[in-house]
Amino acid sequence: MKIITTIAELKQALQAEKRNEKSIGYVPTMGFLHEGHVSLMERARKENDIVVLSIFVNPLQFGPNEDFETYPRDIERDENIARNAGVDYIFYPQVEEMYGSKPSVTVRVESRTDCLCGTKRPGHFDGVATVLTKFFNIIGPDKAYFGLKDAQQVAVVSGLIEDFNFPVELVPVDIVREEDGLAKSSRNVFLNETERQEAKELYQGLLQAKKAIEAGERDPNQVAQIVENHINMYTSGTIDYVEVYRYPELQPMETLSGHIIIALAVKFANVRLIDNLTLTI
């Protein structure tokens, strides 16, 4: 495994791989890797000749009051995890390497962002789309792997690839969970002991909604209410949102049908957790 910190060196290395007709799988991350990231790397390892992992805490996707400075970082730990998962190249650029001067062009996302996390994080997905545009052009991957934990991000990336005609196949990978159902997240370390016990109830609320749908419930408001009631009953967290949409379009429905997503965000004392469940009716 090779660690590369500059765009020029990475492009040179990958151009050599491409000349040898090697396929490239790409896993974008902000580091502090956990089992969810490992599932992406292992999937990429199975499906490609070369695996590239980027570790970059992207300032463009953090708002002024968000946790850019305190976002957990541990590059030595990440290197060991990536090596064990079979990564060939880690691209670990500094902010100055990715954004050396004030950009003359950025990417603005026009749809799939006026709901869920997008309403509370203006500019977040513009930052995601901008940095991914750079990464796709720098790396030129055949496939890019994204976890469905951030299902809105997957929907936005799908639109980015389609609208900009990137020759990249988007590979969504299922959420990896703890034994009690809590979705794996780098931010879970900010939960205190009591909150950690409560946090498993987020997924249980989603499962209660799924059970109601399987029993015939088709009103999206009633489905959302089931989740809210469960979270309010079993946790001390504050609900940011519980929303139900057609997926991946993220469009509201009067009556549930087709492929849908039930998504939530809940704030605890020092962290905001997201989770979701998708299903086809």
List pLDDT tens digits, range 211-270: 999 999 999 999 999 999 999 999 999 999 999 999 999 999 999 999 999 999 999 999
Other C-beta atoms closer than 10 Å to the C-beta of 30 total 18
Residue 259 is a catalytic residue:
no
- For residue 251, say whether it is annotated as part of any ligand binding site: no
The pLDDT of residue 65 is above 80 = no
* Residue 149 among known ligand-binding residues: yes
Alpha-carbon distance of 140 to 135, in angstroms, equals 8
CA distance 206 to 226: 8
pLDDT score recorded for residue 175:
95
CATH numbers and ranges of domains, the chain: 2-173 (3.40.50.620), 186-276 (3.30.1300.10)
Q: For the chain, what percent of residues have pLDDT higher than 90?
A: 86
Active-site residue identified among 37, 124, 230, 259: 37
Question: What is the rounded distance in angstroms from the CA atom of residue 82 to the CA atom of residue 88?
Answer: 9
What pTM was estimated for this model as a whole?
A: 0.88
Of the candidates 6, 165, 34, 179, the one whose C-alpha atom is nearest the C-alpha of residue 92 is 6
Q: Are 278 and 151 in contact, with CB atoms under 8 Å apart?
A: yes
Give the mean model confidence (pLDDT) for residues 74-94. Answer: 96
Q: Which amino acid is at 169?
A: E
Residue 150 annotated as part of some ligand binding site: yes
CB 36 within 8 A of CB 178: no
Per-residue pLDDT of 122-150, as tens digits, reads: 899 999 999 999 999 999 999 999 999 99
Q: Is 153 annotated as a binding residue?
A: yes
Over range 89-103, report the average pLDDT. 93
Residue 94 pLDDT: 94
CB 90 within 8 A of CB 62: no
36 is annotated as contributing to ligand binding: yes
* Residues contacting residue 128 through CB under 8 Å, at least 6 positions apart: 58, 60, 61, 109, 153, 156, 157
Write out the two tokens for 167.
């020759």
33 carries a ligand binding annotation: yes
Residue-wise pLDDT for 144-180, tens only, equals 999 999 999 999 999 999 999 999 999 999 998 999 9
Q: Which two tokens stand for residue 142?
A: 């055949």
